[in-house]
Each structure stands twice: as structure tokens, then as C-alpha cells.
């Protein structure tokens, strides 16, 4: 299965320009990040190649049901001094340089039919389906990883903006404290405290720059592009509404690729059992040959011998005893089938548990988001009042700093809550097998 099929699986927009180092600070939206990842990611390439190998194995298995045909030609030449004695002749017959030519052409075919070969071909077909589904699992996991990494970068950029605003407030407070100190309205201690807080906010901003650079390099690695490549990402995180657990579970039973692969492996185990049992059935071998042979000799009883004709034969056989090896194969295949049944049941429980856990995180984080939004609005209003009071000299620097820190923490928790919802949303879509691109106004899943 080729790469274009898997790109269609994600329903991505086609036609973006190639990403190169020559285009510095190129805009990288989410859709383009997904396309780059699926086009460049080495795990995706390996998974696609594995599907091709599995398809070749299936086609190779078809040769078990086809006859084999061989054609051979043999030619020999001899030049010998020959002395022959016959009872009917008293004197020997001497033939110097006697020549002998022997030319033989044979075309032979063999067709062997074994019932287990038919079952083996079906088993190889199921294994090809399993490999195809596993490749889709790799693609979906890659899409989920790219989505998480992309929005992590967006989150860190938003944090940088928050810290920049905090630094602006600290700078304004520092200017006010400096002016008050110079006019004798505040002590030097207040001015120095404002300087310390400003330096602390500046250090936090510098550390955030390092975090952003590391996050960007991590995203580049997933996209399989050079770490030196710079780009600009979107500055917002959108979340979906009306995600229902019942719909997710229903979709998971029909679209979760890992579950489908596990179910196919159960079918493979069943076919392995049938294949072992089929070895007890009779087998048939048919042979046929065409032979054209010419021999010419200057010595011997025959001066020339020509053969031109067909031969055919058939063999029917059945295995009567194989040292109990066949019985053990059947017993082993039966146990393997039961294990695969258990594996399907275990994965279904694990899948539903993962969905419930992720959905619980999703719903709780959405509740926290509403709380954080209200808390952020209160923190902003409180910081503005504290700044004005500090500017008028009726509030201490500790009161202003406390309001400033509360605003910083509230805004950080708010954007963190949005990212956590997005992360849970991506995981829910991955588990339900619904990672696809809906339209340019919505998110890729």
C-alpha cells in the first residue's frame, strides 16, 4: 500500500510547498505540520514498507497453488579411439577418432496440491491485513504525537507572552519605585525590591526562551526536518465541543486500528489451526514431461537413437504417522487460538478503560477551565487595581507584587487548562480511531 493512501487516511490538504532551510521563519500551520510529518517521519516510511513486504509474502504464497515448469537442454560430444571385439568376428574392429553426439531436450512440470496450502494462503492474506492496520496505527500515533508537540509549542509561546506581560508590569513598577525613591516618597528598600522582582521576571523570560527552543527542536525531530529550521506557528489552541463518551466507545469498536489488528490476529490463529488439521488430508502430485533425445555414435551397436514423446504420472498420498508431530502442532495451534481470543478480550477492556480515563480527565479539565477563566478575570481586575493604588502611593510594593504574581499564575493555569483539554481531546480521538482532518476551520484528528 503506497503513501498516498495513508495521506488520504488523514484527509490532509495536498499541495503545500516544500519546507526548506532557505525559507526562514516560514509559517507552519497545523495542517502543514501533519503533512510534513507523514511525508518525512521515518517510522511512517518503515511502516509503509512493511505493508509492501507483507503483500509480497502473500503473493509469494500464491505460488504454492501453481505448478512448476522446468526446461533443460543437454549436449555432449566425445572423440575416442575405439577397439571393439565381437563373437561373430575373429579380428577386433578398430575405429580411430570415433565420434559420439548426444543431444537431449526435456520439459517437465510438477503440480502438487496440498489442502493446507489453501489455508496457508488465506492466513498470509490476513497477516497482510494485520500489517496494513499496524501501519495505520503508526500513522495515527504519529499524527497524535505531532499534534501534542505542535500545541505544546503553542502553549510555551503563550507562556512567553504571559511572562512578557508580567515583565512589563514589573518594569512599570520599577519606574514608579525609582521615581518615588528619587522624589523621597519611598525608601531605597522598595526600589531595590522592585529591581529584584524585575530581574526575577526577566530571568523567567530568558528561561522560557530556552524551553521554547527545546520544544521547537523536538517538533522538528518528529517532522524529520533539520533542527536549525525556524518557523512561526499559530498562536491559538482551539478545542472541540460536544464530545460524548458513548460515541467514542462505539467508534472505537469499529475504527480503532489496534483492536482491528488484534481481531485479525485471532483470525490468523484460527487459520493456523485449520492449516495444521488440513495436513491430515490426502495430497495429490501430478507430473508430466516432454523429452526429445538424439544420440549419434561411430562405435557401438547403435549408429543413431532418437526419442521423442511424453510421459505423465500422478501420486496420491496421505500421512499416516509422523511421530505425533502433527498432533502436537494441532494442540499448539488450538492453545494459540485461545490466547488470541484472550488478547482480544483484554484489549477491549484496556481500550474502554483508556477511553474512560481520558474522558474523565477531559471533562474535569473542562470544569477547571471555567473556574480558571473566572479566576483569571478576577486576577486581572485585582492587579489593575493594585497597580493604580501603587501608582498613587496608597498600596505597598508587597500588595502590588502579590496581585501581579496571582495574575501571572492565574493566566498560566488558564492556558495550561486549555492545553490539557486539547491533549485529552487528541488522545480520545486516537483511541476512538477518529484522527482525521475535518476542514480548515476545525482541528485535525
Q: Directed axis angle between helix 257-278 and helix 115-182, to 10°? A: 160
- Rounded Cα–Cα distance for residues 327 and 321 (Å): 10
Using DSSP, state whether 206 is helix, strand or coil. Answer: helix
Residue at 47 is within a domain: yes
Are 95 and 82 a contacting pair, CB within 8 Å? yes
Residues 300, 239 within the same domain: no
Residues 356, 257 share a domain = yes
User: What angle in degrees, to the nearest 10, is found between the helix axes of 30-40 and 3-10?
Assistant: 150
d(CA 403, CA 384): 9
Dihedral sign of CA atoms 159, 165, 168, 172 in order: negative
Query: Are 88 and 207 in the same domain?
Result: no
Residue 435, Cβ neighbours under 10 Å: how many?
A: 25
pLDDT tens-place values along the chain, 445 residues long: 444 433 333 333 222 333 333 345 688 888 888 989 889 999 999 999 999 998 888 888 777 778 888 899 888 877 777 777 776 777 777 778 778 788 888 998 888 888 888 888 889 889 999 999 999 999 999 999 999 999 999 999 999 999 998 898 888 878 887 887 777 766 777 788 888 988 998 999 999 999 999 999 999 999 999 998 888 888 788 888 788 999 999 999 999 999 999 999 999 999 999 988 888 889 888 888 888 888 777 666 666 778 788 888 888 888 888 888 888 988 999 999 999 999 999 999 999 999 999 999 999 999 999 999 999 899 888 888 887 887 777 777 778 788 888 888 898 899 999 999 999 999 999 999 988 543 333 333 3
* Same domain, residue pair 198 and 311: no
Residue-number span of the structural domain to which 105 is assigned: 68-113+283-317
Helix or strand or coil: residue 313? strand
Determine contact, residues 155/411, Cβ cutoff 8 Å.
Answer: no
pTM for this one?
Answer: 0.78
Residue 146 is assigned to a structural domain of this protein: yes
B/e letters for 54-82, b = 16+ CB within 10 Å, e = fewer, are bbeebeebeeeeeeeeeeeeeeeeeeeeb
DSSP 232: E
**Closest by CA position to 292, among listed 14, 30, 103, 65:** 103
In a domain, 243, yes or no: yes
- Residues 329, 191, single domain; the answer is yes
What is the enclosing helix (H) or strand (E) of 83? strand 68-86
Q: At CB < 8 A and 24+ separation, what contacts does 116-119 make?
A: 116/275, 116/276, 116/278, 116/279, 116/281, 117/64, 117/65, 118/65, 118/278, 119/271, 119/274, 119/275, 119/278
Please give the span between the terminal C-alpha atoms of the chain, in angstroms, as a whole number.
22
Same domain for 142 and 84: no
Kindly state the cell numbers that stand for 289: 514431461
Looking at the structure, tell me whether residues 60 and 84 fall in a common domain: no
> Domain check: are 291 and 149 in the same one?
no
Number of domain units in the chain: 2
CA–CA gap between residue 210 and residue 166 (Å, rounded):
18
Amino acid at each position: 500500500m503506497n503513501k498516498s493512501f495513508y495521506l488520504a487516511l488523514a484527509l490532509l490538504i495536498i499541495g503545500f510547498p516544500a519546507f526548506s532551510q532557505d525559507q526562514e521563519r516560514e509559517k507552519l500551520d497545523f495542517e502543514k505540520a501533519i503533512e510534513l510529518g507523514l511525508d518525512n517521519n521515518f517510522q511512517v516510511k518503515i511502516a509503509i514498507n512493511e505493508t509492501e513486504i507483507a503483500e509480497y509474502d502473500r503473493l509469494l504464497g500464491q505460488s504454492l497453488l501453481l505448478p512448476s515448469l522446468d526446461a533443460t537442454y543437454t549436449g555432449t560430444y566425445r572423440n575416442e579411439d575405439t577397439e571393439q571385439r565381437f563373437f561373430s568376428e575373429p579380428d577386433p574392429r578398430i575405429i580411430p577418432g570415433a565420434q559420439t553426439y548426444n543431444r537431449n531436450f526435456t520439459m517437465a512440470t510438477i503440480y502438487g496440491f496440498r489442502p493446507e496450502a489453501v489455508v496457508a494462503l488465506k492466513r498470509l492474506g490476513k497477516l497482510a491485513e494485520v500489517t496494513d492496520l499496524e501501519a495505520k496505527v503508526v500513522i495515527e500515533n504519529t499524527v497524535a504525537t505531532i499534534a501534542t508537540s505542535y500545541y505544546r509549542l503553542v502553549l510555551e509561546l503563550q507562556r512567553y507572552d504571559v511572562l512578557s506581560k508580567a515583565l512589563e508590569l514589573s518594569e512599570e513598577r520599577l519606574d514608579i519605585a525609582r521615581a518615588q525613591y528619587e522624589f523621597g516618597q519611598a525608601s531605597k528598600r522598595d526600589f531595590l525590591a522592585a529591581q529584584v522582582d524585575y530581574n526575577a521576571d526577566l530571568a523567567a523570560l530568558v528561561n522560557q526562551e530556552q524551553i521554547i527552543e527545546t520544544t521547537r527542536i523536538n517538533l522538528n525531530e518528529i517532522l524529520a526536518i533539520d533542527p536549525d529550521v525556524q518557523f512561526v506557528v499559530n498562536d491559538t489552541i482551539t478545542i472541540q465541543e460536544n464530545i460524548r463518551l458513548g460515541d467514542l466507545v462505539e467508534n472505537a469498536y469499529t475504527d480503532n486500528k489496534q483492536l482491528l489488528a488484534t481481531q485479525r490476529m485471532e483470525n490468523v490463529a484460527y487459520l493456523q489451526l485449520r492449516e495444521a488439521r488440513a495436513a491430515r488430508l490426502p495430497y495429490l502430485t501430478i507430473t508430466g514431461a516432454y523429452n526429445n533425445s538424439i544420440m549419434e555414435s561411430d562405435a557401438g551397436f547403435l549408429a543413431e537413437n532418437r526419442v521423442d514423446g511424453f510421459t505423465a504420472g500422478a501420486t496420491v498420498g496421505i500421512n499416516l504417522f509422523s511421530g505425533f508431530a502433527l498432533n502436537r502442532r494441532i494442540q499448539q495451534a488450538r492453545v494459540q487460538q485461545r490466547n488470541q481470543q484472550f488478547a482480544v478480550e483484554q484489549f477491549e477492556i484496556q481500550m474502554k478503560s483508556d477511553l474512560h480515563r481520558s474522558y474523565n480527565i477531559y471533562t474535569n479539565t473542562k470544569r477547571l477551565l471555567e473556574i480558571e477563566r473566572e479566576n483569571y478575570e478576577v486576577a486581572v481586575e485585582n492587579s489593575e487595581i493594585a497597580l493604580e493604588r501603587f501608582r498613587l502611593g496608597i498600596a505597598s510594593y508587597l500588595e502590588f507584587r502579590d496581585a501581579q504574581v496571582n495574575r501571572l499564575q492565574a493566566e498560566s493555569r488558564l492556558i495550561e487548562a486549555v492545553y490539557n483539554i486539547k491533549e485529552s481531546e487528541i488522545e480520545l480521538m486516537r483511541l476512538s480511531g477518529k484522527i482525521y482532518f475535518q476542514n480548515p476551520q476545525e482541528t485535525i484528528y
